[in-house]
Amino acid sequence: MDIYLDNSATTKCFDEVVEAVSYMMQTEYGNPSSMHRKGSDAEREVARAGETIAATLKVMPKEIIYTSGGTESDNLAIIGAAYAYQRRGRHIITTQIEHPAVLQSMKYLQSQGFEVTYVPVDSMGRVCTESLLSAIRPDTILVSVMAVNNEIGTIQPIEVLGEKIKKRNPNTLFHVDAVQGYGKIPIYPRRYKIDLLSVSGHKIHGPKGIGFLYVNEKVRLKPIIYGGGQQKGVRSGTENASGIVGIAKAADIVFHDIENDVKRMHALREMFVKELLQIDNVFVNGGKEGFCAPHIVSLSVPGVRSEVLLHALEEKGIYVSAGSACASHKPAVSETLKAIGLPKEHLSSTIRFSFSVFTTEEELVYTVTCLKELITELRRFTRR
């Protein structure tokens, strides 16, 4: 049997999502911007989708901008806000363990003369709140902090941060990359003082190639894509109507019984971690109970290279990730693992397991059994 434990890389689409996308492609295939009935019908479906998505965040549909996914949402939020508010200042703050979509956007802005402060995290991956707050200046226009780290699963205190950032400087915008957090932890932009929030469809059993950015109605963004002026001129290009309906359907299913689903995943994670720690000389990285996401487990296995263990598990029908699959498939040392101070021998010996609503206890028990056998065998081979 195939056991898919790489859900932080991408997820299997819900059957209902496939049906919704197919319906849009085959029946309501009109361009939402067209003036005829086919266009109006597609536009109506897009509007309904917007209401569904907005309801999950308790925001207004007009505050949702559709993108091609989490990477574009992060780019639009960071670069778009930086250029829109550069007259106020050119200072931005983020953390050392952000997703490449955030860190590379920051590097681009630095090349354009913006100043970026990278705040450190502790050994669990939690941002140092006081360091972040002390870095805020009168010319700080944006703070960007992810909700859940994609490699180690640590939850950042975004609710506390939002409140304190606004007290320190009311004009500083707060961006949250919620690609790994949406549908896994509570996130309410207005209550948490979040101005910009990034989400990706294929992380919640929706289609690839679709995401959205929540933009508070009072926030201005300079477009990074130009064209026909769709979506109020913020993001030009024909709306991906089938993708939009697909991500809305996925969100509707995910949030239908979210409390019980998340509770079940937390229980599975707790059981899985407990069993993993019975293996000699292995280490679980990142957040502990109380500030760890329910679906991510990062495991370091000193003496066994991550790619070797990944492919050994693959031979058993178990699919995991060697760190993050959101960058190039070429192996690279994780900036997140370095930032939390992992020993050098652990950096190249870490794999990530990530669950979904489809993950079962039986699958995890089998995975632990395979790990015990493989780690012993591979370590013996390494010592030769």
The confidence score (pLDDT) of residue 323 equals 63
Of the residues 13, 128, 292, 326, which is catalytic?
Answer: 326
Residue 384: per-residue pLDDT: 45
Q: In the numeric block, which tokens belong to residue 104?
A: 């590379």
Query: How many CB atoms neighbour CB 221 within 10 A?
Result: 24
Q: pTM to 2 decimals?
A: 0.95
> Is 326 tagged catalytic?
yes
Interatomic CA distance for residues 366 and 7, integer angstroms:
18
The span from the CA of 243 to the CA of 35, in Å, is 21
Which two structure tokens, joined as six digits, stand for 353? 């397991």
Is there a contact between 291 and 348 (Cβ–Cβ < 8 Å)? no
- pLDDT of amino acid 327: 52
Please report the pLDDT score of residue 383 as a whole number.
54
Q: Are 284 and 298 in contact (CB under 8 A)?
A: yes
Q: Could you tell me where the DSSP H helices lie in 236-327?
A: 241-256, 258-276, 306-315
Q: Which residues of the chain have pLDDT under 50?
A: 328, 384
The one-letter amino acid code at 157 reads P
Integer Cα distance of 209 and 211 in angstroms = 7
Backbone torsions φ then ψ of 283, nearest 5 degrees: -140, 130
